[in-house]
Amino acid sequence: MGSNVILRENLEGIEILTFNRPDKLNALNPEVMDTLDRIIPDLENNSSIRAVILRGAGEKSFVAGADIPQFLEFGPLESKAFALKGQRILHSLEHLPKPVIAAINGFALGGGLEIAMACHIRIAADTAQMGQPEVKLGIMPGYAGTQRLPRIVGKGRALELIMRGHMITAQEALAMGLVNQVVPLDKLMGECFKIAKEIMAQSPIAVKTAIEAINHGLNLTFEEACTLEANLFATLFATQDQKEGARAFLEKRTPHFKNH
């Protein structure tokens, strides 16, 4: 492949993906999205990867949206294909059976915020700024931003962010529940590592099943979602991890989970 638009590094089972176009504020282009598309299956299937952290190169930007010049070439057919492809890739990211953490180290705008919203947990540097400014370009979010944002922050806040197209601070994002935590920039990766390690200490199969229950349950009625939860809850009682977790609790020791 030979592409360096996304750098990969594995530290103690944590895969770090770095969007690496700092001269363009790590803006998305077709090469970046194709590279992410190729990486995601390995994130799922590689047993040496227990958690994933996404970040942007440099200190200014996580991902500052898409490269705008490509939009001048689009008509309705090209733009629909563009949106559907991005939605498919981010759906795959969101449904990874391992924890995915966004380390928002700077601007997370447009498609960049849509990538962050597809992650399971979002930690922002106190200098980060976020927004969906697409209306300023005469368009709207196309990577499922109009769907994930209201599910995260509520309809009213989502409508305001998308219709005004303005940027908000990390503290404002925290207040509305768009990010889980805000930390100083120099503490950002350390906090993401801490969270990843805490999750990695739990039963991988239990974490995977909880991710599945939440992701799929949100698209069902409450009653259907509760049935889904009960069914998935029951499957865990056929695992060795469940037995080990219960024994370890009763024996007052640290459990040794084996993901089966």
Ramachandran region of residue 141, left (φ > 0), alpha (ψ -120 to 50) or beta?
beta
Q: Are 245 and 203 in contact (CB under 8 A)?
A: yes
For residue 148, how many other CB atoms are within 10 A of its CB? 19
Q: How many residues does the chain have?
A: 260
Q: How far apart are CA 148 and CA 61, in angstroms?
A: 21
Q: Measure the CA–CA gap between 93 and 26, rounded to whole angstroms.
A: 18
Residues paired with residue 61 on neighbouring β-strands, in sequence order: 107
Bridge-based pairing of strands 121-125 and 181-183 is parallel
> Which of 162, 60, 72 is closest to 117 using CA atoms?
162
Place of tokens 């120099």: 186
**What angle in degrees, to the nearest 10, is found between the helix axes of 111-118 and 76-94?**
30
CB 101 within 8 A of CB 51: yes
Question: What positions carry a catalytic annotation?
Answer: 114, 134
Cα 165 to Cα 84: distance, rounded to the nearest angstrom: 22
Q: Which two tokens stand for residue 62?
A: 């996580």
Q: For residues 50 and 161, give the distance between their C-alpha atoms in angstroms, rounded to a whole number.
A: 34
